[in-house]
Chains A and B, each alone.
Chain A
C-alpha cells in the first residue's frame, strides 16, 4: 500500500492565552506541535502499514520549521517526509493550500490512500482534506471512525455523523479524514526517533510542482482576511454569595424568570 498522510504544524492552541492588558495573543512559550487530529491520521496510516505492508509518505505545507513535524511523524512510523515550502505559498487560503498539496501529491506519483486529520486546530475549517480529493478527482470519506475492511482496491469504513454513523464502501484510491474515535496514537519508539533524526527530508518548492503560478499563495486564494481582532471579552456578571440555601433560592428565581413555562 502506498500511503500518504497530510499533516500540519500548528501552535499548541490549548495553551494559547490572551494578554489581558493588550488583548492580544501571547505567543511566547507556545510550542509548535503536530495538529492533534493529524496524530490520529498518522497512527491509522502506521496501523494500515502494519496490517497490509507498504510505504508511508508524510507531507506538509509550511515554513521551514515544519520539518520538525515531519521528523516527529517519521519517529512514529512514517517512512519518508516531504516539506512543501516556498515563500510563494504565503497567504494561501484553503483553496490554494489544497491545490498546492494536490500538486505535490501528483509529483509523488501512485498512491492508494491519503489520510488527513479531520481539521486543523488553528484554522478549524476542515476544508483542505476534501479540497485535495477534489483537485485529485478521487472519492473521499470524511469523519472516518473505523476502517472495517481494507484491500488494495476497496475499503469499507464507518463514517461518524451527528445521528450515529454510516457504513460506506469506497474504491481505492481514496482520501479519508479521520476523527479521534478511530484509534489511540502511539508513543514514538527509540529506533523511530533515531531514524527520524537522520532522515532526509525532501523539500518541494513552487518550481518543483508543475503548478499554475496564479493558483498559488495569496494570489491563488479566493478568500482573504481583511481584519483580525480579539473578540470583546464577555462581560462578567454578578457573583452570588451566601449560604447554600440562599444561593439555591436565587438560582431558582433566575430559572423562573428565564423559563416561565417550566417552573
Chain B
C-alpha cells in the first residue's frame, strides 16, 4: 500500500494518531502503526508529523495531455428560461481563478430560446458563451445535458469547470466527470489556484462539516467543482463588457434522453425566499412546539425576513423541510441570522456560518451556537422575540 511509517524517524509522539480521522493509527511499543484496513490514504497524518516519519506514495499516472487544457468554464443554470443567480456567483469566483491563471473565463448555456440571455452572462464577466439551443434542452435531463457538455469539453478542453451544487448541477456534472475521467469535488466552500503548480485547489467540508479538506486533481483534466448557492459573491454587472457567442448544434443521438420529464410542479411555501433573504429568523427544538413558529413568522414578517429552522424542528414535523438550514438543508448567507432555541450543532452551522451577523437566543449558556454568534443572549426567547417584534412594529409605524 502506498503509505508507510519510517520507523527510524518515528519518535512515538502520537501526533498522527490524533490527526487521523479514521482511527487507523495506533501506538505499538513506541512506534506508530497503521491499520491498512482502516487507512484511506487521506494523508492527514503526513501533514501532522513533525519528524517526516510518514511517507505517502502515489504511482505516477500516465501523463495526459494536460497542457492542452486551458480556460475556466462555468456551466450556467437556467430554469424556465431564466438564468439562476448561482451562475453569477460562479462567474464571480471564476473571474478570480481565470485571472490568477491568466486564462479565459467562459460560460456554457443549454436551453431553449436562450440566445437573448447570452448578454447577461457576458455582462457578468464571461468572455465567451458556448450556447446550445434546442427544444430538447428546454428542461434539465441528465442524459442530453451531460452528453452535450461532454462534447463541448472534449472539443474545447477547459482546464477548470465550475457548476452549481443544485439538484440539477450535482446530478449532471457527476455523470460528466465519470465519462471523461475528470476529477470532481462537490460542495466547495473555497476555490483557489496554487500559482506555483498552476493547480486548482478545492476546499470542502467533510465528516458533517467537522473537518475541512483541500483537494487537487493533478493528472486529469478538466478539474471540476460544484459550489453551493450563496457561498461565493456574485460577479458585478458591467454592461460595457463584450464577448463572443459560439452556438453549437448536435445530432439527435447527443440530444436524446431515455428519461422524460412529463410534468413540472411548483410548490407553495418552497421558500426560495430563504436562500435569498437578507434577514432570517430561525427556530429549533427550544421552541417547544410547532405553534411557536408563529412567533418567528410574526417577527420575520415585521422585519421583512424569512423563517428558517434547524433539522430538529423539521424532523419533529414542526415545519416543512424547505425551511431547513444546515448541512442537509439550505445554505444561507443573510446579513442577519437570528437563531432561537437552536443549540448550534456543527451541521446547522455549516448552513449559516457565512451570515454577516449571527444573533443567538438560547436558554442554555453552554449551547455551542454562542461560540459562533456575534451577539449571544442567554434568555427566554418567548419574552425576547415578542418584545422585539413589538418594538420593530412600533418603529415602522411611526
Q: Which residues of B contact A27 (CB under 8 A)?
A: 21-23
Whether the Cβ atoms of B258 and A171 lie closer than 8 Å is yes
Q: Which residues of A contact B218 (CB under 8 A)?
A: 224
Determine the residue in chain B with the shortest Cβ distance to A123: B206
Q: Give the contacting residue for A131; candidates B41, B177, B261, B278; CB below 8 A.
A: B177
Q: Give the contacting residue for A168; candidates B262, B353, B377, B378; CB below 8 A.
A: B262
Q: How far is the CB of B69 from chain A (nearest CB, A)?
A: 13
Q: Is B95 an interface residue (CB 8 A)?
A: no
Whether the Cβ atoms of A165 and B349 lie closer than 8 Å is no
Q: Is B251 an interface residue (CB 8 A)?
A: no
Q: Give the contacting residue for A13; candidates B186, B208, B213; CB below 8 A.
A: B208
Q: Give the contacting residue for A143; candidates B21, B167, B177, B183; CB below 8 A.
A: B167
- Which residues of A149-180 have CB atoms within 8 Å of chain B's CB atoms? 156, 159-171, 174, 177, 180
Whether the Cβ atoms of A25 and B175 lie closer than 8 Å is no
Q: Which residues of A contact B47 (CB under 8 A)?
A: 227-228
- Which residues of A13-67 have CB atoms within 8 Å of chain B's CB atoms? 13-14, 16-18, 22, 24-25, 27, 63-65
Whether the Cβ atoms of B175 and A125 lie closer than 8 Å is no
The verdict on A224 contacting B184 (CB below 8 Å), with A164-B267, A219-B61 known, is no
Q: Which residues of A contact B44 (CB under 8 A)?
A: 225, 228
CA distance A263 to B220 in the complex (A): 52
Q: How far is the CB of B303 from chain A (nearest CB, A)?
A: 7
Q: Which residues of B contact A121 (CB under 8 A)?
A: 208
* Segment at the interface with A among B96-104, B242-250, B288-296, B382-390: B382-390
Q: How far is the CB of B264 from chain A (nearest CB, A)?
A: 5
Q: Which residues of B contact A25 (CB under 8 A)?
A: 21, 207, 210-211
0/1 string, B131-146, CB within 8 A of A gives 1: 0000000010011001
Determine the residue in chain B with the shortest Cβ distance to A63: B37
Q: Is A252 an interface residue (CB 8 A)?
A: yes
Whether the Cβ atoms of B170 and A262 lie closer than 8 Å is no
Whether the Cβ atoms of A262 and B211 lie closer than 8 Å is no
* Segment at the interface with B among A73-81, A107-115, A189-197, A237-245: A237-245
Whether the Cβ atoms of A262 and B21 lie closer than 8 Å is no
Q: Is B379 an interface residue (CB 8 A)?
A: yes
Q: Give the contacting residue for B213; candidates A99, A168, A228, A249; CB below 8 A.
A: A228
CA distance A164 to B22 in the complex (A): 38
- Which residues of B333-355 have CB atoms within 8 Å of chain A's CB atoms? 335-336, 345-347, 349, 353
Q: Give the contacting residue for B370; candidates A163, A166, A236; CB below 8 A.
A: A236
Q: Is A188 an interface residue (CB 8 A)?
A: no
Q: Provide a sorted-by-A list of 27 A–B residue pairs whose CB atoms are within 8 angstroms.
A: A91-B2, A126-B170, A130-B170, A131-B175, A134-B174, A161-B167, A162-B166, A163-B264, A167-B264, A168-B261, A169-B260, A214-B62, A222-B220, A223-B217, A224-B58, A225-B215, A226-B43, A228-B21, A228-B213, A228-B214, A234-B371, A239-B378, A251-B384, A258-B336, A258-B356, A259-B303, A263-B395
Interface residues of A (CB under 8 A from B): 11, 13-14, 16-18, 22, 24-25, 27, 63-65, 87, 90-91, 93-95, 98-99, 121-131, 133-135, 139-143, 156, 159-171, 174, 177, 180-181, 214, 217-219, 221-231, 233-234, 236-241, 244-245, 247-252, 254-255, 258-259, 262-263
In the complex, the 9 A-B pairs of residues with the closest C-beta atoms, listed nearest first: A222-B183, A91-B41, A13-B208, A130-B174, A222-B220, A164-B267, A223-B183, A125-B186, A237-B374
List 16 extra interface pairs beyond A139-B142, A223-B215, A231-B212, CB under 8 A: A25-B207, A95-B184, A125-B174, A126-B186, A127-B170, A128-B174, A130-B142, A161-B264, A162-B167, A167-B263, A174-B259, A223-B185, A226-B43, A228-B43, A237-B374, A252-B395
